[in-house]
Amino acid sequence: MSCQSTVNMLLRSCLMFVFLVSLQQSQAQDSSANKDKSRQVAPKPERFGLTPFEVNSSFDGQPDPLHCFASTDGGPLDTSQQLPLVLYFQGSGATPIFYGKSPQIYCSLMFDGRDFKGCHYVVIGKPGVPFFGQEEDMRSEAYETRLSLEYRVDAAVTVLQELVKKPWVDRSKVVLVGHSEGADVAPWVAAKSPLPTHLAVLSPGALSQMTDLTLMKRKAMLRGELTAEECEREIAELNAAYKKIFAAPSATDQSWYGHTYLRWSTFFRPAMGAYVQLDVPIFAAVCRDDRNTPCESGEALQLEFTRLGKQNLTYQMWPVDHHFIQSDGTDRRQDVLAALNDWLTNSGSAK
């Protein structure tokens, strides 16, 4: 496996699995025969059972509203019910939440509001990325200049601070759920904010993404996909790239495999530093043969909690070989979701 293919697998982790949504087009009658009939109007969030809202924020001293989308039991937000809150963190990439061309519209979220019954579900859009787009990659200048670990963490903390003021949010259960890159973001949010009561991470890595990339090269060699010489050469290439990134860690005009140096330098920070600060209940589902986040990076979390004597981790190793909890065409997402929801039902809160 080449260096490029390995890194691309990590970068595009949130794009490797999508579910097909049937979208029935409702054509509006247009009285003007001269209008461009080929122009497609982007569907609104309400059409997918999501209620859009904004939370005021700023970036570099300028207004930078955070675009959020909420659902109750898979339908529009129902503010008449006070329910627990699930804040979901999607994986990497400048991917709209929904994308494609009618009649085939895809969703980039592994789990949505339908998967968490009896809860209000909220997801925060990526900066500078539309809710809906015809392409998978909709990066923009706003995305490139903003996207970093700190940006996503601060955005989530800001949104949480606003949401818990709402009478329809049950503050006794505020759950963070992160997948892939989102599993790097969520623990730092829990470490920075006192509001979350539970944390669930799917396909997580507790070590640095630098370590993850190196581990993937070693494992590729053990599988016979790289010779020993190829492995050492590609690891040397990775190390050279890391040095360039940390020579200009805030650069947004330099990139490596589809992301700015700013994005890489911040996400190279090991999530373990956040996990060990937490006393809230944690659920971690690791994929045993994951080709995007090596299971050793997730297993390190369990080992460190054992060393520290921490008792707040529910750790599960799933015998699957896909970052999106599948194996040989068998989708195990619903099994993991059932385990997660059972954990939510039966785990108390540290608060």
Lowest model confidence (mean pLDDT) among 170-174, 294-298, 325-329: 325-329
User: Does residue 29 surpass a pLDDT of 60?
Assistant: no
Tokens of 300: 């390190």
**Number of residues that make up the chain:** 351
Percent pLDDT > 90 in the chain is: 72
Q: For the purposes of burial, counting CB atoms within 10 Å of the CB of 262, is it exposed (0-12), middle (13-18) or buried (19 or more)?
A: buried
CA torsion sign for 146, 148, 154, 155 is positive
Local structure of 51: helix, strand or coil: strand
Local structure of 316: helix, strand or coil: strand
End-to-end CA distance of the chain: 46
Delimit the domains of the chain by residue range. 16-21+43-206+271-345
Lowest model confidence (mean pLDDT) among 30-39, 74-83, 93-102, 300-309: 30-39
DSSP 55-117: E--EETTEE-PEEEEEEETTBS--TTS-EEEEEEE--SSS--SEEEETTEEEE--SS-GGGST
Q: Give pLDDT, residue 207.
A: 96
Local structure of 282: helix, strand or coil: strand
Q: Are 174 and 84 in contact (CB under 8 A)?
A: yes
Segment 169-179 mean pLDDT:
97
Q: How many other C-beta atoms are found inside a 10 Å radius of the C-beta of residue 152?
A: 27
Query: pLDDT of 125-134, one tens digit each?
Result: 999 999 999 8
Tokens of 291: 């080709």
Q: Which residues make Cβ contacts (< 8 Å) with residue 60, sequence separation at least 6?
A: none
- Is 0.75 topped by the overall pTM? yes
CATH of 16-21+43-206+271-345 given 3.60.15.10, 3.30.70.120, 3.40.50.1820, 3.10.105.10: 3.40.50.1820
DSSP 17-34: --EEEE----PPP-S-TT
